[in-house]
Structure 1
Amino acid sequence: MAQNNVLVLGAPHSGKLRASAVIGADFSGDDDFSGSHSGLIFKISRQTKYFKHDLSIMVDEYPEERTRGPSWEHLDGWSNDFMSEDMEELRSALDGIVFCLNVSDRASMVDLESTMAVLEKIYESLGGAEWAGFFAIVAVSGSDDIENHAIAEDAATIRGFEYINMEEEGESEFRDKLGRDRLVELFDTHAWADIDTSEDDGFAARKRVMAESMCQRLLDEDTETGNDVHVEEFEQVIEKLKQARIQAESMEGAEKDAYAQQVMEDVLSYL
């Protein structure tokens, strides 16, 4: 099975298509999404400042029939199929799971703890903390459900899941991106299995040109003093990287990936 696959899962009216659109799914005016969203697949080509990659967004929904109200038991039944031997190829090809949750839905909040327990089981079936993919809870709501978001976020984060409130905007007090911007950042900073960093793309080309330029300055036949300056430049870059490594030791996951990319950009700007 091809790489770069993300599963977007949730009950009806939980924001699955909204999350898919933020990531880059394109819906035409002729599309009819009034029925079940199970089986929808969106092929997306994404471009970041560092690389580009093709991505498959696979949408699934529980229960199978929309005439039945969703419950954690339906999710549990879905998880049993997902964890079966028949689904081993799919599990091995996943780079991430986005679970969509509507915290304005009373039944979803009543089932919250049981739902999170099933999600833990799904996460462990993928390898748990050893899994290289990401597992995020993406929540939607009405404008007056701040308390429900707080309850759901606590239930998610205590289990190690990232919680993204799609009603938030801007940055937190710690300058972390919020809402849809955080969802985009999650995809931009993930270590995808299959990416294109060809020399025709900006980041790779800039990196090569700057490195060549710096090496050339070092090797140029110049005065002894001039070469000492060039060597000093290299030493300063190495010192920057040492300091960045110390700083990164206190970070984890997406925060660490984003910081590493920022450091690389800073170093390239310095060269």
Structure 2
Amino acid sequence: MEWFSSNHIFIVGPPHSGKLRAVKALSRHGKQEIDVGFENHGTIAHTTPFLTKYYKVLLSILVDEFPAKRACGKLNDEEKLKEFEKWATEFTSEGMKELRETLVGLLFTVNINDDGLEYLKEALRIFADIKNKFIEEFMWEDGFCAVLGSVPQGDKIERESAVEEIEDLVISHGLEFINMEESGVNAYKEKLGKDRLVELIECHEWSNAEYFENCQEYKKRKMVEFGLGGSNNNDDGDDDDDIELDEKSLAELIRKLTIVRERALDIPLEQRMRYADEMAEEFADVL
């Protein structure tokens, strides 16, 4: 199949566990609209440009869900575990080896409020076994694995101690836990939440990345991504020359800022600051 030809990140989890949130976080830092349609939840392939100050890569993200078709009612933990075991058996089969060989990252999503500890103990054991299989099969030393915890959009974490309990379980299996409900940095200046997920991807050495020669090239690419023009007053080819916004581009930037402001008014107050921080980071790169 054609989409086997490049490296991929694979995201898997039960319904309402934050799979699309992870995709959006990696899709131009959450700005790109995701049109996937999860009615039947077969494997979904999504590609998006991923831009850092050092390189640009066309990121390929595969998303899968267990069960293959959503049940009419909510699955209990026992049913979820049974479905995940079934999914893992198929995923680690010889017939899926060609797909596994293309993967550089595995992400497992959990619902902090709904996924019970007994289910998670077994589910994380299975996920860790999958990671070990990758290491045995492909000497997967440069691959990455993480467990992403979140709650459905608009909900709040019902029990704060659940986060610590889940994190302890994840760490006990030699995996990294990312709480997607967090933001900013911790006391050790380590990034949290969506920013940590993005950082995880940024730090990977992609074999098909296009690396920039200097930061000015990055700024040019960022302006193109924003749909802006721009001019350089110096024509001597110096890499350190400043790139300036022309009058037309400045007007377009102001228009985009107005759109961002209008969108923010429709976002619940508790989510507005996070959205403002994300947009400020994006616009800062072109100013």
- TM normalised by structure 1 equals 0.69
Mark the CA change 1:88 to 1:202 in structure 2 (over 3 Å): closer, same or farther.
Answer: farther
Matching of residues 1-271 of structure 1 within 5 Å: 1-24=4-27, 26-27=32-33, 31=35, 33-67=37-71, 69=75, 70-106=79-115, 108-127=116-135, 130-141=140-151, 142-199=156-213, 202=216
| Aligned-partner SS, 1:42 | strand
Mark the CA change 1:130 to 1:103 in structure 2 (over 3 Å): closer, same or farther.
Answer: same
Higher alpha-carbon Rg: 1
Asked whether the 8 Å contact 2:41–2:69 carries over to 1, the reply is no
Mark the CA change 1:65 to 1:6 in structure 2 (over 3 Å): closer, same or farther.
Answer: same
Listed one character per residue, the Cα deviations across residues 211-252 of structure 1 (whole Å, up to 9, x for unaligned) are xxxxxxxxxxxxxxxxxxxxxxxxxxxxxxxxxxxxxxxxxx
Asked whether the 8 Å contact 2:41–2:68 carries over to 1, the reply is no
**CA distance in structure 1 between the aligned counterparts of 2:36 and 2:7, rounded to whole angstroms:** 26
Asked whether the 8 Å contact 1:50–1:202 carries over to 2, the reply is no
Listed one character per residue, the Cα deviations across residues 52-74 of structure 1 (whole Å, up to 9, x for unaligned) are 10111110000112116251121
- Residue identity in the other structure for 1:36: N
Mark the CA change 1:32 to 1:84 in structure 2 (over 3 Å): closer, same or farther.
Answer: closer
**CA distance in structure 2 between the aligned counterparts of 1:99 and 1:202, rounded to whole angstroms:** 36
**CA distance in structure 1 between the aligned counterparts of 2:198 and 2:159, rounded to whole angstroms:** 23
- Give the total of aligned pairs: 204
Shift, 1:34, TM fit: 5.0
Listed one character per residue, the Cα deviations across residues 112-157 of structure 1 (whole Å, up to 9, x for unaligned) are 1111111111111101684321001000033333211111111111
* Structure 1 gap segments, 5+ residues each: 211-271
| Aligned-partner SS, 2:99 | helix
| Aligned-partner SS, 2:211 | coil
- TM normalised by structure 2 equals 0.65
Runs (4+) off by over 4 Å = 198-204
Listed one character per residue, the Cα deviations across residues 145-197 of structure 1 (whole Å, up to 9, x for unaligned) are 32111111111112111100011111111110001111111111111121111
**CA distance in structure 2 between the aligned counterparts of 1:66 and 1:13, rounded to whole angstroms:** 11
CA RMSD of aligned residues (A): 2.4
- Residue identity in the other structure for 2:101: S
| Aligned-partner SS, 2:202 | helix
